[in-house]
Structure 1
Amino acid sequence: MKLEELGYNNKLGDYRIDQNLSELEIGRITLEHKERYVVKTPDHEFEAELMGNIRFTAESRYDFPAVGDWVAFSAYDEGKALIHAIYPRHSILERKAVGKSGQVQIIATNIDCALIVQAVDRDFNVNRIERYLTICHASNVEPLIVLSKIDLIDELELEAIKDQIIQRVKDIPVIAISSIQAVYAQLEELIKPGKTYCLLGSSGVGKSTLLNALSGKEQMKTGEISSSVNKGKHVTSHRELIVLESGGIIIDNPGMREVGIADTSGGLEMTFDTILAYAENCRYKDCSHLHEKGCAILAAVDSGEIDADSYANYCKMEKEKMHYESDALERKKKDKDFGKMVKNVKKQRKNSKF
């Protein structure tokens, strides 16, 4: 195996030289658990921990490694290593952490494409697809919708689901798969060597089954199907990066019960660009598109030009985004005030010595 098969590229090579990291080894984080990591190189895997300066100078979760990161490290014992630095990330897939106001959870880094897996059984939900699309767009990650368990419905039902997606989601590829029918060829053709793909989806939609099929062996255990709800039992409990024999790189994720919006970079606008295109005709430039007279978006919803459910989903996520941005500003202010306090304490201590 070569570094390029793990996703290594010229930008990483240039950074390695510019930052004088050539004396250290380079590898990619494949597993993370409470500040303990597994780092993979073309020839070995290391159990790694952080150098003290990374841990003690970290200002936020972004300063710690995550699955998908490239790191500079040194081996100090057989299979053991110390992480010295994290290489720049070209993408960070993240969401607002469940039940933790203002906090962001990093799903994975350096992702090229996200496979949004949705089972076509009774749990199918277009609103959820739009949520996953929003975090992909906000992270500059290319999305691909994968419909799983198509053996549970007939052809007419499958076409109806595809039509439902097309009405709400524009210009995003949709692929249908089934573990029973072994229908994976179309997806396998899209998996490119050296590119990193991340599986996104709720618990029980078949992500682990899909990973096992793509890798040709059981990478993740799969749960048995419940006859009452047609859902597999959730078994994936951690994020893990796996290199396929075909050359692609897959990151599996635990199922997400909730997908909170932590978007400050236009992901929501990209997901709902069809709706927001109507805003150019609103009477007021600062229209909130919620209740104003002369709102072109509300008029389009009333006339049926805009799907009412999609509009309702947009409004819900827009409110979440505004709440997150408000929390982020408050945290920034608190951090700034804390920084001032620390400086004043240091200044007072310095003056008291004289």
Structure 2
Amino acid sequence: MSNLYTLGFNQDLANYIETNNLNTFTVGRVAQQHRDGYIVLTGRESKKATITGNLRYTVSEKSELPVVGDWVLLIDSGDLYLIYQVLPRHTRLERQALQGLSESQLIASNIDEALIVQSVDQNFNLNRLERYISICHTGNIQPIIVLNKIDLIDNNRLNTLINEVRQRIPNVTLITTTTLFEHGAHQLLEKLQPQKTYCLVGSSGVGKSSLINALTKQDVMKTSSLSQAHQKGKHTTTHRELFVLDNGALIIDTPGMRELGVTESGHGLSQTFEQIDLLAADCQFVDCSHTSEPNCAVLEAIRRGELDEGALKNFKKLQRESQRFETSKAEKRKIDKGFSKMYKEVMKMRNKRRF
């Protein structure tokens, strides 16, 4: 099991396996996720895998199925592994599922730090940065902002963007990169530590695939130019994949996400908008909406120039979005519970008729 530690395995997982008498299984980590199966790493080999029928049909929701970054228990069937169980996750990167407001989609798991990549051209957007950061905090993942493609602008413009980020998002580490020059990604590589897992997230066209190629020192990911018609990024990453770098760090690349709905708010929004959260404690009313109430500490901070008004607007937007998600999820649970109760009553009536 010692080789597993190079893939990010830790003592908590070892204790869980020992406590639950699961030592007879092979332990692996999901490195790739495709429609027809998975690729898992065991510390000794990389091999195809699929889930057992029991796992497939006993999960209550899709997020319980394996995703890239998961630690899993495996049964060796020769040509491929059967994934028997997903081990407990310590962090989760998820968003609202595209097919329904009340569902969430798990993107990857067991990530220590997320590298939120934005390019310094048309893609730069402070609201989107806060959205990504909120999702990271919700999943207990430490965010790092990566401003990429700095070769496209001059130093004055770069310093302006850096100042805008630091004024609005002061407590998140910021790194600047470019893959145009040989050592352009050197500052990012220095940040990555052995046996820790990182994840690259961001919209299409921000240069995530180029960064992966620079970090792995190989052309492992396809790259493409921006769409000339719309100046939007083309999708070059089509699946999620975990890479082991030469320095021992692990990094997950993900497809570009143009739609990124937040799920439950909780501490995620509070951490992202920490300044608003702290100011709100001094508002006259506990349930202050920071709209027009008297003695609102948040509005007063905006008037004094101590808080960016754009941050408050984005906070309210994400808060409303999260509340809608939580309401829809609660309604879905109620409907599912009612359907389950009705099904049991119907089956009970059928059994009575038989006798």
State the TM bucket, normalised to the shorter chain. Answer: over 0.9
Amino acid at match of 1:258: E
Residues 201/139 of structure 1: CA separation in 2 closer, same or farther (3 Å cut): same
Q: Distance in 2 between matches of 1:144 and 1:272?
A: 15
Deviation of residue 130 (structure 1)? 0.5
**Which SS does the other structure have where 1:2 is aligned?**
helix
Aligned to 1:281: 282
Deviation of residue 264 (structure 1)? 3.7
**Which SS does the other structure have where 2:31 is aligned?**
strand
Matched, 1:92 2:92: yes
Deviation of residue 37 (structure 1)? 1.5
Deviation of residue 231 (structure 1)? 6.4
Aligned to 1:104: 104
Deviation larger for 300-309 or 196-205: 300-309
Aligned to 1:200: 201
Deviation larger for 308-317 or 217-226: 217-226
Deviation larger for 342-351 or 183-192: 342-351
Question: Is the Cα–Cα contact under 8 Å of residues 222 and 232 in structure 1 kept in the other structure?
Answer: no
Matched, 1:163 2:166: no
Q: Distance in 1 between matches of 2:164 and 2:5?
A: 39
Deviation of residue 235 (structure 1)? 0.7
Deviation of residue 122 (structure 1)? 2.2
Deviation of residue 341 (structure 1)? 2.5
- Residues 83-129 of structure 1 deviation map (CA, whole Å, 9 limit, x = unaligned): 11110000011111235221111110000000001101122111111
Q: For residues 87-236 of structure 1, what are the structure 2 equivalents within 5 Å?
A: 87-98=87-98, 100-181=100-181, 182-224=183-225, 233-236=234-237
**Which SS does the other structure have where 1:318 is aligned?**
helix
Amino acid at match of 2:130: E
Q: Distance in 1 between matches of 2:99 and 2:74?
A: 34
Deviation of residue 228 (structure 1)? 7.7
**Which SS does the other structure have where 1:77 is aligned?**
coil
Q: Distance in 2 between matches of 1:230 and 1:338?
A: 47
Question: Is the Cα–Cα contact under 8 Å of residues 203 and 233 in structure 2 kept in the other structure?
Answer: no
- Residues 210-241 of structure 1 deviation map (CA, whole Å, 9 limit, x = unaligned): 11111111111111356787766331111111
Deviation larger for 15-24 or 266-275: 15-24
- Residues 225-259 of structure 1 deviation map (CA, whole Å, 9 limit, x = unaligned): 56787766331111111111211111101111122
Q: Distance in 2 between matches of 1:161 and 1:249?
A: 29
Give identity over the alignment, percent: 43
Q: Distance in 1 between matches of 2:202 and 2:167?
A: 21
Q: For residues 56-67 of structure 1, what are the structure 2 equivalents within 5 Å?
A: 56-67=57-68
Amino acid at match of 2:209: S
- Residues 274-318 of structure 1 deviation map (CA, whole Å, 9 limit, x = unaligned): 012111222211222234343222233234322111111111111
Q: Distance in 2 between matches of 1:241 and 1:147?
A: 22
Deviation of residue 73 (structure 1)? 1.0
Deviation larger for 142-151 or 91-100: 91-100
Q: Distance in 1 between matches of 2:336 and 2:170?
A: 40
Q: TM-score, normalised by structure 2?
A: 0.94
Q: Distance in 2 between matches of 1:346 and 1:46?
A: 44
Q: Distance in 2 between matches of 1:292 and 1:350?
A: 61
Q: Distance in 1 between matches of 2:210 and 2:304?
A: 43
Aligned to 2:19: 18
Amino acid at match of 2:140: N
Amino acid at match of 1:25: T
Amino acid at match of 1:342: Y
**Which SS does the other structure have where 2:43 is aligned?**
coil
Amino acid at match of 2:100: K
Aligned residues: 353
Aligned to 2:342: 341
- Provide structure 2 residue ranges, at least 5 long, that are not aligned to the other structure: none
Q: For residues 237-256 of structure 1, what are the structure 2 equivalents within 5 Å?
A: 237-256=238-257
- Provide structure 1 residue ranges, at least 5 long, that are not aligned to the other structure: none
Amino acid at match of 1:246: N
Q: Distance in 1 between matches of 2:201 and 2:150?
A: 18
Deviation of residue 18 (structure 1)? 2.0
Amino acid at match of 1:173: T
Residues 17/165 of structure 1: CA separation in 2 closer, same or farther (3 Å cut): same
Aligned to 2:74: 73
**Which SS does the other structure have where 2:295 is aligned?**
coil
Question: Is the Cα–Cα contact under 8 Å of residues 112 and 142 in structure 1 kept in the other structure?
Answer: yes
Deviation of residue 53 (structure 1)? 1.5
Residues 23/162 of structure 1: CA separation in 2 closer, same or farther (3 Å cut): same
